[in-house]
Amino acid sequence: MMLFKELNRGKCKTYLISCEISKTAALIDPLKEHTDRYTAILAYFGLKLDLIIDTHTHADHRSGTFELKELLGGRVVMHRRAPAPRVDVHVDQGDCLDLGDLKLQVLYTPGHTPDSISLSAGDRVFTGDTLMIGGTGRADFAGGDAGAEYDSIVKKLFALPDKTIVFPAHDYRGHICSTIGAEKSSNPRLVGRSRADYIHIMNNLGLPLPDKIQEVLEPNQSALDDDAIKFPALSQLNQVQQLEPSEVARRLNSPLPPILVDVREGDEFIGELGHIAGSRLIPLRELSQRASDLDQFKSTEVVTICRAGVRSTTAAAILTALGFEHVFNMKGGMLDWNDAGLPVEKMN
Ligand SMILES: [Fe+2]
């Protein structure tokens, strides 16, 4: 028994799925501008919001996940590679989310972004911006990878039964749904294309960046509003020098080790990923006000750190603009540091 609706009736899709026995609901890819509408719909059907899921970090609209959680409760769900703080449930390939009697199976489908997931529930699959109807998600910014996207679609989504109904996060031509079988046989980006063909097509689409991409992307990546922090411009972010975790570890063992500034929230600092010994915790939203604490290090090497290396790129650009001369970002953040097997501390 399942209640299912698309709630936006526009190019951006938000899906409501709920278990009619437990009266618990999930919202997939809610928009910040429509949180009032979602709240009213949930109340009308007498549903309790349990799962608030973003299929990836969106670049074209502000996510409503954190606002909905504040208003209604529920758990924010994203892939473990998602850069934002305050995600309650980090998921990965093969995980299963319970929604009353319903089960949502997580497929890790990177490519459009490094944190893209699809969700398979009974006879349908929510494909985010990985597989769209007669199209696929662009892979040319925000960590996109066309080869990874091809593998996600061909090896994971096309392994689902042909009759599986496909519900994407976007459609620009008025379609509502498709099937895996229909996309296999007629999606023009994929039919008869090798992986190399696909990469060539996707890397030469020549599309302009989405309108207001930075105004949308940075708040979604940091779960901060732009009245809480002044975000750097794209040109400033692009100039940030990146260091692999192994290189950070090497420099920490040198005679003049860098200063480490960890810009996550306090609970992340002592959470599952831990932190690097000796790092200073200054959450991103406090960085501009507290940068004077670091004044003595203006001529020292400073390495900024966060979960996935995204918020800390913002932090590195902010410190550089404040006159710090040798700022680096640790690429891939504490996720890549942990994946490299480098040592962490988990206590304050
Ligand atoms: Fe997207």
Q: Residue 212: which pLDDT band, with cuts at 50, 70 and 90?
A: confident
- Using the mean position of ligand 1's atoms as its centre, give its distance from the Cα of residue 82 in Å: 13
Give per-residue pLDDT as tens, 254-288: 999 999 999 999 999 999 999 999 999 999 999 99
| Least confident residue range of 11-25, 160-174, 183-197, 202-216 | 202-216
Q: Are 201 and 153 in contact (CB under 8 A)?
A: no
Helix axes of 35-44 and 65-72: crossing angle, nearest 10 degrees: 40
Q: Are 326 and 283 in contact (CB under 8 A)?
A: no
Give per-residue pLDDT as tens, 150-194: 999 999 999 999 999 999 999 988 899 999 999 999 999 999 999
**Is the dihedral angle over the CA atoms 339, 248, 317, 278 positive or is it negative?**
positive
Give per-residue pLDDT as tens, 138-154: 998 888 999 999 999 99
- Using the mean position of ligand 1's atoms as its centre, give its distance from the Cα of residue 279 in Å: 33
d(CA 149, CA 192): 16
- Using the mean position of ligand 1's atoms as its centre, give its distance from the Cα of residue 220 in Å: 12
pLDDT mean over 87-103: 97
- Using the mean position of ligand 1's atoms as its centre, give its distance from the Cα of residue 295 in Å: 39
d(CA 69, CA 92): 21
Closest C-alpha among 108, 126, 109, 129 to residue 58: 129
124-128/165-168 β-pairing = parallel
| pTM of structure | 0.93
- Using the mean position of ligand 1's atoms as its centre, give its distance from the Cα of residue 130 in Å: 8
Q: Are 134 and 175 in contact (CB under 8 A)?
A: yes
Write down the pLDDT at residue 1: 62
Those residues whose beta carbon sits under 5 angstroms from the ion ligand 1 are 129
- Using the mean position of ligand 1's atoms as its centre, give its distance from the Cα of residue 200 in Å: 20
- Using the mean position of ligand 1's atoms as its centre, give its distance from the Cα of residue 137 in Å: 7
Beta bridge partners of 97: 104
- Using the mean position of ligand 1's atoms as its centre, give its distance from the Cα of residue 112 in Å: 7
Mean pLDDT, the chain, rounded, equals 95
Q: In the chain, where do the E strands start and end?
A: 2-6, 15-19, 24-28, 48-53, 75-79, 89-91, 96-99, 102-108, 117-121, 124-128, 131-132, 135-136, 165-168, 178-179, 241-243, 259-262, 280-281, 301-305, 326-330
**126 or 214, which is more confident:** 126
- Using the mean position of ligand 1's atoms as its centre, give its distance from the Cα of residue 192 in Å: 25
pLDDT mean over 299-309: 97
